[in-house]
Amino acid sequence: MIINKLKSETAVLPARRAAVSFYRYRNFRTIAPEGRLDTTTAPELDSLIKSQLTGVTDLKFDLSGLEYISSSGLRVLLSAQKIMNNQGSMIVTGSNEDILEIFEVTGFSDILTLG
């Protein structure tokens, strides 16, 4: 991948509790939320993600900046996974130990491709 052709955008989610960066190159997207993904921030992130997925064949969620994820945040990931099941692949990377434990307890580790 040619780094200087990578385009990025950043959005601040409600109450400044989170931000999300989008990186794109051709049909590849990286979505990197930061802060908290909860009932306050998840709805807007879900809308932003859906607006970014048209024509995407490879999606990567970089969760290295995510501190917390609630069930609302899990639904955002599940929604993106359902879309990507029909048009390509999705991988989730950079999860901290707490988030990995949430994925394990909820069964999301069996649904998502973790890297």
pLDDT band at 14 (very low <50, low <70, confident <90, very high): low
Distance of CA 12 to the CA centre of its chain: 14
Per-range mean pLDDT, top range of 4-8, 49-53, 68-72: 68-72
- The single-letter DSSP state of residue 57 is S
Mean pLDDT score of the chain: 88
Mean per-residue pLDDT for 28-38? Answer: 93
> Residues 97-103: contacts with CB within 8 Å, 24+ apart?
98/68, 99/63, 99/66, 99/68, 99/69, 102/69, 102/74
Mean pLDDT of all residues in 67-89: 96
- The CA distance from 100 to 107, in Å, is 10
Write out the two tokens for 70. Answer: 């609630």
What is the third-level CATH fold of 8-111? Transcription Regulator spoIIAA (3.30.750)
